[in-house]
Amino acid sequence: MDQNIAGAIETNLIINGNWQPPESGGRYDVRNPARPDEIVGHAARATAADVDAAIKAAHEAHPAWAGLSYQERADYLRAVAKNLVADEPELKARIRLFTREHGKILKESGIEMTRLGDRFELVASYADRLAHDDELPAPPLETIITREPFGVALLIVPWNWPLSILGAKLPQALMAGNTVVIKIANESPLAPALAIQKMAEVLPKGVINLITGKSSEIGDAMLTHPLVRRINFTGSISAGRHVMAKASKGLKPVTLELGGNDPAIVLEDADLDDGAFQRMVMGTFMTAGQICMALKRLYVHRSRYGEVVERFTAFAGKAVVGDGLDPEVTMGPVNNRAQFDIVAGMIDEAKARGATVNPVGTVRDQAVFERGHFHRPTIVTDAEPDLLVVREEQFGPVLPIMPFDSDAEAVALANDSDYGLCSSVWSADRDRAVGIARQLEAGYTYLNGHGPLAQDSRGPFGGFKNSGIGRNLGYEGIIEFQQYHSISGPPGFLGL
């Protein structure tokens, strides 16, 4: 791309391999959440006609892509991984752009941009395993059990970690033999669009297509299009319900990774050295708490409660809050005003109901802080269990810390939620930690850690209850994008 992506830029759609403006020429502004009066760029505002063109391009590209072997598709995935980081100056500019449009600090933007290719490499490594069919010899019949791609897969990703989340589903969909249409969120689409452009450069035309724009204008056109055969959505519960309702009209299978209100249980025997508190604080406040698997409720055995509150507060207090472009800053703003207001409302309710609310950390520049969508890391104690900050996903830098008296009570408190995405257990006893983990209603449980830095990308990821349906990541995430096909013959005919 020949634009200077350090300034305000324009991004396009990707349809049938072409980086092109929307049919209407429409665009919308993307602003810097640290400095909301600063326009970072202008994203393409797709129409229903663009959606139709993108889906048809994916549909036309599907037979040839599905006809490749797993190893051939793996070679393409490795080429994507290489191309994402091939141009170092462009990569650094893309990282900086992402911080400007999103708010997360440069280090986190760098993690997202530079490690995305690792997920393509991991999925490529499954080629040999995927190539083997299951075979059932007679009697009564000889049967081959194989798997086929669905066709066109619609992948919808949110604004908080759009490329990491895309990396949990896109390489899987491609390796499974599907072609894709990607819809990225309105709030931080610029740098992700440029990264997806780098992917499309090395793939056959039509295999990857990109749509940006207002979901209220084009969402239903995507979800109900007759050529879309599989939908994978990450986002809020309310939006997930809408996706499922629309998909049901065409009997389209869906994977939904929705919100989480992830509990952590600290047992009395936990080994809480400085490293443990660093992991705990990082798992809570990374990206200003705007991570679905962030630690959002901290339950501590009463014998350790005072110690944990004091030391967690001290470690959280080391945060430097400000513009993510500042190398001294360790936590940026909340991404958008709507989410800022949700977090503020939770904090205000906790104060009004008598909870102890303790904002900590250093503000790097007070004028910038007052201008942007900033919250300091905030610890809430003496919290009633029905407070919003306990019952709902904060998706911001605020954490309630609450005591418990027994393992059974801890498990009951952790499971007392409509959510069931992730959880963690902190203990020095391996058997005890695993035993409690098995009782938790969550799709993923971390031991002595929490969040993205404690997660194994080889394992399937998804939620229980209102946190979703189906799984991303790992080998299982590939199988989600396939359907079983059984082929039977009389004894002796298939030679099994």
Q: Catalytic residue numbers?
A: 257, 292
For 65, counting Cβ atoms within 10 Å of its Cβ (0-12 exposed, 13-18 middle, 19+ buried), the class is buried
Question: What is the rounded radius of gyration, in angstroms, for the C-alpha atoms of the chain?
Answer: 23
* 495 Rama sector, left if φ>0, alpha if ψ -120 to 50, beta otherwise: left
Cα–Cα distance for residue pair 161/49, rounded to 1 Å: 28
Cβ contact 261:392 at 8 Å: yes
Tokens 């324009």 found at: 10
* 251 Rama sector, left if φ>0, alpha if ψ -120 to 50, beta otherwise: left
- Which amino acid does the sequence have at 412? A
398 backbone dihedrals φ, ψ, rounded to 5°: -145, 140
Cα–Cα distance for residue pair 279/100, rounded to 1 Å: 26
Cα–Cα distance for residue pair 169/74, rounded to 1 Å: 15
Within 10 A of 438 (CB to CB), how many other CB atoms are there? 10
DSSP string, 137-202: PPSS-EEEEEEEE-SEEEEEE-SSSHHHHHTTTHHHHHHTT-EEEEEE-SSS-HHHHHHHHHHHTT
Cα–Cα distance for residue pair 436/159, rounded to 1 Å: 33
Reduced to 3 states (helix: H, G, I; strand: E, B; else coil), residue 37 is strand
Three-class SS string for 58-76? HHHHHHHHHCCCHHHHHHH
Per the DSSP assignment, residues forming a β-bridge with 446 are 424
Sequence-distant (6+) residues with CB within 8 A of 271 are 428, 448
Cα–Cα distance for residue pair 493/142, rounded to 1 Å: 8
Cβ contact 461:471 at 8 Å: yes
Cβ contact 488:142 at 8 Å: yes
Walk across the sheet containing 18-20 and list its strands.
Answer: 18-20, 13-15, 208-211, 179-184, 152-157, 228-234, 254-257, 468-469
